[in-house]
Amino acid sequence: MKNAAKNAFVTGFPIKQSKSPLIHGFWLNDLNIDGTYRAVELAEDGFSEFIAQLKSGDVEFEGGNVTMPFKEEAFQLVDERDAIAEKIGAVNTIYRKDGKLCGTNTDAYGFAANLDDLAPQWRPKSQNSSKAVVFGAGGASRAILFALIEAGFNEIALYNRTLSRAETLADEFGPSVTAYQIDGVDHGLKNADLFVNTSSLGMHGTPVPDLNFASMAEGAIATDIVYHPLKTKFLENADKQGIAIADGFGMLLHQAVPGFEHWFGARPKVTKTLRDKILNG
């Protein structure tokens, strides 16, 4: 007999470290839903075979999450992808719709929803005075640029060690984004309303440049998508200089919401209980 429970997966290589089973497991239990969410361990070259099985129905999943290094392959292999996935160039969430396998990317949503939670004043009040400084132009930076443009930032200064990567993104994202060499960040911070670190600097306490956050606009906010440690050195420095800070851990929790709703039909909430549980689990 067919199992009535709905099932979802997370896959990546490696996948053991993923917090996603804990997050979705918490919601399934909390909302009393008959479903499972589990990590699927694949070989590094096993993703296309897995997608073929999903398409043929050989594996019974409503959909799932895709993490490193399969996000770009997922982008190529799904039947359909939405506008956000197209812009970000990577798929982190797969779901079924009208018999097709659809791909989206929920990182931009997760980033914005985390700031809405921790620092709701982050959204520009006026299109004329909304400057953001983005540090880093790697894969993660795309979702952040998408979220900032959608929120209404009209001046986004993108700093990267490798200038050409920042220039490529600036070309793609249009006139609100300008690429700069990394050593000019202090100049860019003057009167900026928001600073976002999207680079891997500061992860596990590695050194970061000592930036002049104090020159940012009144009421400015600094945030970091790195959340190991929770208060990164960028955030520590900004805090010492009197700038409001918002850690990036909630991005991980919020980016999981749309997928859960697609697979299990209920929209879960990111609560303090969930945050504490995942932080300590």
Contact residues: ligand ATR, CB under 6 A: 136-141, 160-162, 165, 199-201
Taking the least distance from each CB to ligand ATR, the nearer of 55 and 161 is 161
CB of 140 to ligand ATR, least distance (A): 4
CB of 228 to ligand ATR, least distance (A): 13
CB of 144 to ligand ATR, least distance (A): 9
The SS3 call for residue 96 is strand
Taking the least distance from each CB to ligand ATR, the nearer of 20 and 141 is 141
- C-alpha span between 219 and 221 (Å, rounded): 7
Taking the least distance from each CB to ligand ATR, the nearer of 65 and 160 is 160
- C-alpha span between 169 and 107 (Å, rounded): 17
- C-alpha span between 18 and 8 (Å, rounded): 14
Name the catalytic one among 71, 87, 131, 233.
71
Taking the least distance from each CB to ligand ATR, the nearer of 170 and 274 is 170
Q: How far apart are the first and last CA of the chain?
A: 35
241-278 burial: b if 16+ Cβ within 10 Å, else e: eebbbbbbbbbbbbbbbbbbebbbeeebebeeebbeeb
Q: Which whole-number Å values give the CA distances from 14 to 45, 47, 69, in the listed order?
A: 12, 12, 9
Is 71 considered catalytic here? Answer: yes
CB of 30 to ligand ATR, least distance (A): 30
Catalytic residues: 71
